[in-house]
Amino acid sequence: MLAWLGLCLCALLAGCRSPGKPTAGPGIAMVEIHGSSPSEISARAEDVFRQNGYQLVHSGPNDLLFEREGSRMETFTYGSWLDPLWIRVKAYIVPSAAATLRLECKAWMVTDKGGVTEDEVPVTHLHPYQKLLDEVARRCNLAASHPSDGSPTTNQIQGR
């Protein structure tokens, strides 16, 4: 009886983790960004995703949710002929190391968006999303090396 109780307790503790927040691993696109704040990363991510046809659905301090309607080809291949397919991207900003944050995202194909039978199917081909995150990192690094207020950058202060 005591062994069974211990096994149940282990199973319960193993299942305790924040739902919906990805961690580094398969099926996740990610970049590390040095020297930018979460708000700067969020602003750059919003710009990049909007320029690529996504709408910002939710914005929190460390998480973003983007959606766009799927293309005709995506809808034909993965969705229904009656209802459009949607692409949903959930992005998270998580600490990685000192002065480094990681922007990571997962993507889903969504059918019957907002309906009773809404279904999210994970996207396994992450190349397009990795490219978006790479662009966010590029813009953050560019902004960090050329501040708009004219103040010197860390590299300029250190004489690099």
pLDDT in tens, the chain (160 residues): 444 334 333 333 333 333 344 445 557 999 999 999 999 999 999 999 999 999 999 999 999 999 999 998 888 887 777 778 999 999 999 999 888 999 999 999 999 899 999 999 999 888 999 999 999 999 999 887 776 655 544 433 333 3
For residue 57 the two structure tokens come to 């659905």
Say if residues 48 and 131 touch (Cβ distance below 8 Å): no
Tell me the residue length of the chain.
160
Q: Is 119 exposed, middle or buried (0-12, 13-18, 19+ CB in 10 A)?
A: exposed
Owning domain of residue 30? 23-143
Q: What's the domain count of the chain?
A: 1
Q: What's the pTM value of the predicted model, to 2 decimals?
A: 0.74
In a domain, 8, yes or no: no
For residue 59, the tally of other CB atoms under 10 A from its CB is 14
DSSP H helices, the chain, are 2-14, 38-51, 72-78, 127-145, 154-157
In a domain, 4, yes or no: no
In a domain, 122, yes or no: yes
In a domain, 12, yes or no: no
